[in-house]
Chain A
Amino acid sequence: MIDTVFWPLVKIVVLLNAVMVSVTFMTLLERKVIAWAQSRLGPMRVGPYGVLQAIADPIKLILKEDITPAKADKVMFTLAPIMSLVPAFVVFAVIPFGADPFYYVADINVGLLFIVSVTSIGVYGIILAGWASNSKYPLLASLRASAQLISYEIAVTMTLVSLILTAGTLSMVGIVEAQQEAGVWFGFIQPVAFVLVLIGGLAETNRAPFDMPEAEQELTGGFHTEYSGMRFALFFLAEYANMIVISAVIVVLFWGGWLRPFPSVDALAVLDYIPQWCWFFFKMFMVLYLFIWIRATLPRYRYDQLMRIGWKVLIPIAIANVVITAVVKVLL
């Protein structure tokens, strides 16, 4: 009973709180990095160098009035933030932060598919938010979002197939162990897949340059225009939690999860003194930084360009990648 119920529950509570805390500091990091990229200082008022801004923002959002528009569909309006938040958090159950079972909640044998399928439910939050607001810009944004998310999901899933072929397993722990056996991170074997998953991940999390669903300049804020206070915070939380999920998945699939660099080179064994979870979080941080960097650098795509890239570039490359991987796998 203690092993099957108590410890997993403790892990889940710790993990969820860790995710929420890291999301609040992600927002601060994002504002700071973008500020630096634009030769500004960013938030400086709350605490030294503005670090307490990360705590002030959630408090402000919680204390704000929570408005439901008069003509909105009440049930769906309340349900939508929950439906976008829950899938983002459920996924953390199968992400291994270290080799020891202590560092993950569950290792299921369909781990990677589980992640893909659960994140695909997150789109309902966005669509329903736009529809339930009963307002034209959110509805336009949600229609854009659903088309965009479905399109890029195909490309990402096709790309993951080539990864599964390389690793020979669907389990997240198994994939990292396969990289240990191969002695090389899959990012070096499958560089094309890495780029595809990175682009697809940006689109799936509605990040710039693919932030169509919340393009402020053209949609007055996008699908969550009508949301305020805590419910807006839930969408915010979901978006950043999704970013963390994507970065963790990229780390597990391409950058060796908890493995140190060059896991097969014994001369670097001294690096093993750094704990595995430190490697994991360091790599995750690098990927998250990359996301912010891209947002600070690239302009937003036009909607038709976005769809063209998704369907006419990414999906064909993903399919070609699967075929090439399969051929190489058979030949070797």
Chain B
Amino acid sequence: MAETIAFYTLSVLILGLAVLVVTAKNTVHSVVSLVMTFLCVAALYVVLEAEFLAVIQILVYAGGIVVLYLFVVMLVNVGRPPEEHRDPRRLSVLGLGLAGAMLLEVAGIVAYSYSRSTSSVTAPAGPSPVQGNTEELGWLLYTDYLIPFELASVLLLVAMVGAIVLARRDL
């Protein structure tokens, strides 16, 4: 019961705020809506008993990435709103249509896969030697997924170097 209430409340909040993100006239409003969306998603993770991910979501997304966006929005202090420029070759209506087609496609896939999901997926996971969401996730990341984990760290390093190079004045 509690999960039902939480799910519907959070869903309405997430979708409403996401609509605000893509429709807001002012970029800063959109960034703030994005933060709220991420916080609601984090709450949804708590409902799904993924506490570690909820915290990481807030720490990395809300506390890091979106602050970066806000920072850039303020640095890029455009005199004229970017949406004023109209390219005659650009068809926003077509974009809306394509997005609608995408929604239909995803809905079709969901409906199809759930109509024939007789053989429920069984969990292949072996018993984890540790208890608790954080510990189990850590165990998984440092054993089975060690190489992807290291690759992710290299990716972040490359991104860091790239961002610094791009942000240099003399580019």
User: Which of B58-66, B87-95, B119-127, B146-154 faces chain A?
Assistant: B58-66
Q: How close is A315's CB to chain B, nearest CB, in angstroms?
A: 12
A150 to B63, CA, bound (A): 8
- CB contact list, A284-319 vs B, under 8 A: none
User: Which of A11-19, A27-35, A124-132, A231-239 faces chain B?
Assistant: A124-132
Q: Count residues of chain A with CB under 8 A from any CB of chain B.
A: 29
CB distance A79 to B70 under 8 Å?
A: no
A41 in contact (CB, < 8 A): no
Given contacts A143-B71, A146-B71, contact A123 B32 (CB under 8 A): no
B134 in contact (CB, < 8 A): yes
CB distance A170 to B134 under 8 Å?
A: yes
Q: Which residues of A contact B51 (CB under 8 A)?
A: 108-110
Size category of the B interface is 20 to 34
Contact of B55 (CB < 8 Å), options: A79, A110, A142, A143? A110
A118 to B39, CA, bound (A): 10
CB distance B74 to A150 under 8 Å?
A: no
Contact of A124 (CB < 8 Å), options: B26, B35, B59? B35
Smallest CB gap from A157: residue in B:
B59
Q: B56, B63, B70, B71 — which one has the most chain A CB atoms within 10 A of its CB?
A: B63
Q: How close is B129's CB to chain A, nearest CB, in angstroms?
A: 15
CB distance B52 to A116 under 8 Å?
A: no
- CB contact list, B30-60 vs A, under 8 A: 32, 35, 39, 51-52, 55-56, 58-59
Q: Which residues of A contact B28 (CB under 8 A)?
A: 73, 76, 128, 131
CB distance A139 to B74 under 8 Å?
A: yes
Q: Which residues of B contact A75 (CB under 8 A)?
A: 29
A149 to B122, CA, bound (A): 45
Q: How close is A217's CB to chain B, nearest CB, in angstroms?
A: 23
CB distance A124 to B67 under 8 Å?
A: yes
A76 to B56, CA, bound (A): 26
Identify 27 residue pairs between A and B in the complex whose beta-carbon atoms are under 8 Å apart, listed by A's number.
A75-B29, A76-B29, A79-B32, A108-B51, A109-B132, A109-B134, A110-B134, A113-B56, A113-B59, A120-B59, A120-B62, A120-B63, A121-B62, A123-B67, A124-B32, A124-B35, A127-B67, A131-B28, A131-B74, A139-B74, A143-B74, A143-B75, A146-B71, A147-B71, A149-B67, A150-B68, A157-B59
Residues on A facing B (Cβ under 8 Å): 73, 75-76, 79, 108-110, 113-114, 116-118, 120-121, 123-124, 127-128, 131, 139, 142-143, 146-147, 149-150, 153, 157, 170
Besides the known contacts A120-B64, A127-B74, A139-B74, 17 further A-B residue pairs in the complex with CB atoms under 8 A apart: A75-B29, A76-B32, A109-B133, A117-B56, A117-B58, A120-B58, A120-B62, A121-B58, A123-B67, A127-B67, A127-B71, A128-B28, A142-B74, A143-B74, A143-B75, A149-B67, A170-B134
Residues on B facing A (Cβ under 8 Å): 26, 28-29, 32, 35, 39, 51-52, 55-56, 58-59, 62-64, 67-68, 70-71, 74-75, 132-134
